[in-house]
Structure 1
Amino acid sequence: HSFTPDQNDWGFTTFAPLKDLTEEHGLCVNDKVVIRVDVNVVPFDEYEEFDSRKETGFVGLKNQGATCYMNSLLQTLYNVNQFRKAVYKLPTSEDEKPSESMELALQSVFHMLQFTKGPVSTKDLTCSFGWDTMDAFQQHDVQELNRILCDRLEEKMKGTRVEGTINKLFEGHFTNYIECIHIDYTSVRREAFQDLQLVVKGCGNIYDSFDEYCQVEVLE
């Protein structure tokens, strides 16, 4: 049996044919029951009958070893329409190679996510980062990767028609207040940010996380 999205009975009807269950000796022989299961895993990209785009409207990214965090980030950025369009508009030359040009590699990944039928490789993109095979098997910090990726893209966008896109899409502002308890003094400072580190544990939703982030802190 092949387990696929179309097989909603999960193949249980073919686990044991009825004729094998009705033999004279039954299931137990010499007070023993032997159950043997052979499992052969077929990757989706090798399973010709499965069309991810047809079934879900999307295709995924191949995992190079421990790059699931990067894949999640790339798919998130890809689905920000204005970001994807800005990446497509980045100027590149015919002499550039995706494995050596981050913006060209990112354009290629986004294009394949948009138009191909099967899972997309990110090897050229990680090569453009300067990563080797071992780096792909090491878990990196997704927030740090996002910061590096956006900073590099922001630099590449300077002087082009998409200059300033990163700030327009992702920049926010918060105001930091410092108020003295025993004297009449208040400091107010407005700061820009492109990401926030929010507490998740113990918070029921994103609003609880923001409330936790904005809690008053008393400095001793």
Structure 2
Amino acid sequence: MLQGLFDEDGGGDADFSYQITSSSSAKSTVERPPAPRNQTNLCGLQNQGATCYLNALIQTLLFTPEFREPLFSLSAKDLNLPPYSTDSGQTSSIGTTLKVRKIIVELQRLFAEMLLLNQQACSSIRLTDSFGWQSNETFDHQDVHELNRLLFDAIQKSLQGTKQSNLIRTCYEGSTINYTQCKKCQKVFKRIEDYQDLPLVVQDSPNLQNSLANMFTIHEHLIGDNQYRCSSCANTLCDAE
């Protein structure tokens, strides 16, 4: 359902950059000032329709300093903001069109607003615009797990060529090693799997440590209809664990 939400121009090979055209004209509007922060001194996010799942994800990323601070460390030059550009022949004069790493720019902007502005909630419209979302997509409640995976993929692509190109891998990727021992030949087989999230069973688990232990440290016995096909035993089915 979310597969195309981060595709620009309707294509799957987007480079996650967009065109910003400098302009000297600005539209002046008079708006009611936003309400200040309450006693919690925290800033929320305005709901665009059904974006509570996105708001929760953004708040999680904001309060992960290992992600937030490297993102803030990217300079205007890193992001191809004016007066810098991807083409050496371009200048920063009025009307110059520059390619910008838009998702990163808008994440920086939104994080800064949520940390510094004295208001109860900030708007995420500029961020969702940078995703390439249409207005109707903000009214569809999506799966936050799938959104997280696609957003990380979009951020990873947007960071290519910068000093933080491995940010997602460094912060959120890991590896599990699965060992299987054939009971017939006693050979141990190892399989490495990369992950960005860990599936956990919460029902009947008193705490996180117990759930992790049940998922990753308890031996599984491969017997009966669930035998292991051992390559060292001529691909025959064998008991294993």
1:71 pairs with one of 55, 78, 95: 55
Which stretch has the larger CA shift, 58-67 or 189-198? 189-198
Counterparts of 1:216 and 1:142, CA distance in 2: 31
Alpha-carbon distance in structure 1 between the residues aligned to 2:99 and 2:175: 37
Is structure 2 residue 65 aligned with structure 1 residue 81?
Answer: yes
Q: Percent identity?
A: 33
| Structure 2 unmatched ranges of 5 or more | 1-31, 83-96, 227-241
1:28-83 deviation line (CA, Å, top 9, x unaligned): xxxxxxxxxxxxxxxxxx897x632x622310011112211111111111111231
Greater radius of gyration (CA): 1
1:158 and 2:160 matched? yes
Measure the CA separation in 1 of the matches of 2:219 and 2:65. 37
Give 1:19-58 correspondences, 5 Å limit. 51-52=36-37, 55-58=39-42
1:93 matches 2:111: no
Aligned amino acid, residue 51 of structure 1: P
Shift of 1:97: 9.6
Q: 1:191 to 1:153 in 2, by over 3 A?
A: same
Counterpart Cα distance in 2 of 1:144 and 1:102: 18
Structure 2-normalised TM-score? 0.63
Q: Distance in 2 between matches of 1:186 and 1:79?
A: 41
Aligned partner (choices 196, 216, 219) of residue 219 of structure 2: 216
How big is the shift at 1:109?
1.0
Count of residue pairs brought into register by the alignment: 172
Is residue 66–residue 136 contact of structure 1 (8 Å, CA) maintained in 2?
yes
Runs of 4+ with >6 A deviation? none
Q: Distance in 1 between matches of 2:81 and 2:140?
A: 32
Structure 1 vs Structure 2 CA RMSD: 2.5
1:199 equivalent in structure 2: 201
* Pair 66,216 (structure 1): closer, same or farther in 2 beyond 3 Å: farther
1:143 match: 145
**Structure with greater helix share of residues:** 1
**Greater RCO (CA < 8 Å, at least 6 residues apart):** 2
- Distance in 2 (CA, whole Å) between partners of 1:201 and 1:70 is 25
What TM-score results when the alignment is normalised by the length of structure 1?
0.68
Quickly say closer, same or farther: Cα 1:217–1:135, change in 2 above 3 A.
Answer: farther
